Structure 1
């Protein structure tokens, strides 16, 4: 999300609620049903990274994705700087986290992403169609190389170039290694089909023992109906693929409706979507899904859901979800950041599994994208998941 207005949150007890989705005509459901999902969360701690921290001649910020590197135990974070401040890049860091909280965040390295010819990516303002919008990064569990997603650009004007979204492979120094073939409906077209502007791929995750790469578009495709409003949610598409790009399945995930009315004096409309998805290692059909919403005058609403594709309708061959009888993915609320007692609720966009605690509880680490704005922060949050 590219907004930069003030937000704050209140503290209360963690509440678990359920949102289930029956077969409907392209609308998220509102009735409950039995489900095998239902993770629970508790706050372990948080750490605020100094704003616009200077590190190896770069500005740390815009951190929109995070993953744990199984080869080093460090964490890799992608910046969504579109080569405006410095070339599109990622960072490595040591994050000390345990049941007592987040104790330290120490950056250890940074590299720019490279194009196939070895050049860094140009600024989005270059207008040559080669710019990228980095949003998510995952460490390949097999090779410890990087898979990273960028959501491209649907231009505002027909005279500007279309930049297609992509999921690319990179060496650990950022060198280009190739890209994944995406499903056809992830492509931006000028015929009211495909992802909305700034609502393409922001979420990828490895699952099923690293055999499956799951991705989600941030918002509903143009042909799948309007974005959420105060009365209705919306359906986005979640796609499971092999490492070679073959589509195994595509499902509809139900986004929540907008949680509050927007300040009428603001020129900015509400912004909501899914910036991150994370597979459960032991269940290839089950995911944590991060929903992030911003409303002028109310700030950010950050929620994590436990969701499953089990029982959901296969939609890859549906050109449009409008008017179709679709059973979306079932989901259950795991955490609402307003209820965790955090110092602030900000623009959280990335999440990854951390170390397992004594007793079997998993840690979940999340990072916020400060948009390089003075009224936002880079926040590392650690939750215990059971």
Structure 2
């Protein structure tokens, strides 16, 4: 918070915040949602590495890497591809990263496996129209078993009569075998009414906390019933949910995402795209997260921001049917890094992050990956930051 604010002023501002609409409440916090705080972490660039475009590995096309996690059992990293079985079956990769205080020296892929359905078959492409396709977005290694938990967004169909594919968090073996799935909050369900996640804005972020006792998820954008998506004037609220390993919903919160940073090219057929593609729990504080916000605007490119966020003091919105116009207190957040200021060779579609090894400086490394969407004008970029 700003040093000029007195304790009394802070208390008064927070009281007023609780009486405002969610979007206004987020902006009305003392110092604003991006205000610096004494407890916030800081980040600096260690280095980066780019994976060659359409790298062929074991007969698959490396790309679309939208999530990453470190496997404590092997020391390797696991990357999930968001290929919806269009090029090859929906899959993940394992890799060894040579990362230290001097940067990212090498990215060496060591294996790949398709995700399998309960009957052992791979997932079909959406073009089959059988309602069994998946849209992989995030992967985490279970800190207790080293098995994989992976999230996929499902699909809200554009056309009437097309199948609804529900988002899910599934469990898989290290070779991709189906082991079950987590029961999700009811309001994460895609319905044919104007409720639930928007198309392509469902679960894109999951993380383990409390040494594996908790799983926290976030939907990428606001639920349909929670209000409009961000624009040039207003941000929005997305839901963040803490659950037990067996699916019990413990708490749910509203996280404030930023407004759109620039006007779109009027000649582009694509509107702005913004949301939360990844969040990461602090190892010793299950109520505190690093949250990645990713925004793309036609003609302006990407803006990637990393925040230090906490659920402390935020309203539990499990029983709040709609956040639109409701006086809820959202999660508070502090800006850690704007990628435009890190000195990267390019700022692209960064979607995944995980903790890396500790550094001799006492800092901890943070590994991030960008999703190239299998496009020649984008990059698969592995970035390492030092976080203190």
In structure 2, distance between residues paired with 1:284 and 1:80: 27
User: What is aligned with 1:275?
Assistant: 277
User: What is aligned with 1:53?
Assistant: 55
Is contact 1:37-1:308 (8 Å) kept?
A: no
Is contact 1:269-1:296 (8 Å) kept?
A: yes
In structure 2, distance between residues paired with 1:30 and 1:381: 33
In structure 1, distance between residues paired with 2:178 and 2:242: 23
User: What is aligned with 1:373?
Assistant: 375
1:345-382 superposed Cα distances (whole Å, 9 cap, x missing partner): 00000000000001320100000000000100000000
Question: Which has more helix, going by share of residues?
Answer: 2
CA deviation after TM superposition for structure 1 residue 26, in Å: 2.3
Q: 1:188 to 1:171 in 2, by over 3 A?
A: same
User: What is aligned with 1:154?
Assistant: 156
1:48-96 superposed Cα distances (whole Å, 9 cap, x missing partner): 0011000000000000000000001110000000000000000000001
Is contact 1:35-1:330 (8 Å) kept?
A: no
User: What is aligned with 1:12?
Assistant: none
1:333 corresponds to 2:335:
yes
In structure 1, distance between residues paired with 2:293 and 2:356: 20
CA deviation after TM superposition for structure 1 residue 112, in Å: 0.0
- When the two chains are superposed, the root-mean-square deviation of aligned CA atoms in Å is 1.2
Is contact 1:353-1:364 (8 Å) kept?
A: yes
User: What is aligned with 2:116?
Assistant: 114
Partner of 1:326, secondary structure, is: coil
1:138-194 superposed Cα distances (whole Å, 9 cap, x missing partner): 000011000000000000012100000000000000000000000000000011110
Task: Normalising by structure 1, report the TM-score.
Answer: 0.94
User: What is aligned with 1:384?
Assistant: 386
CA deviation after TM superposition for structure 1 residue 226, in Å: 0.1
User: What is aligned with 2:260?
Assistant: 258
Which residue, 8, 17, 27 being the options, matches 1:29?
Answer: 27
User: What is aligned with 1:10?
Assistant: none
In structure 1, distance between residues paired with 2:344 and 2:277: 20
Structure 1 runs, 4 residues or longer, greater than 3 Å off: 33-37
Q: 1:257 to 1:49 in 2, by over 3 A?
A: same
User: What is aligned with 1:190?
Assistant: 192
CA deviation after TM superposition for structure 1 residue 36, in Å: 6.3
1:283-339 superposed Cα distances (whole Å, 9 cap, x missing partner): 110000000000000000000000000000000100000121010000000001100
User: What is aligned with 2:74?
Assistant: 72
Is contact 1:37-1:307 (8 Å) kept?
A: no
Partner of 2:225, secondary structure, is: helix
More contact order relative to length (CA 8 Å, sep ≥ 6) = 1
Unaligned runs of 5+ in 1: 1-19
In structure 2, distance between residues paired with 1:55 and 1:112: 13
In structure 2, distance between residues paired with 1:103 and 1:359: 19
Is contact 1:224-1:235 (8 Å) kept?
A: yes
* Pairing 1:285-324 to 2, within 5 Å after superposition: 285-324=287-326
In structure 2, distance between residues paired with 1:215 and 1:150: 12
Task: Normalising by structure 2, report the TM-score.
Answer: 0.93
Unaligned runs of 5+ in 2: 1-12
User: What is aligned with 1:96?
Assistant: 98
Which residue, 334, 339, 342 being the options, matches 2:344?
Answer: 342
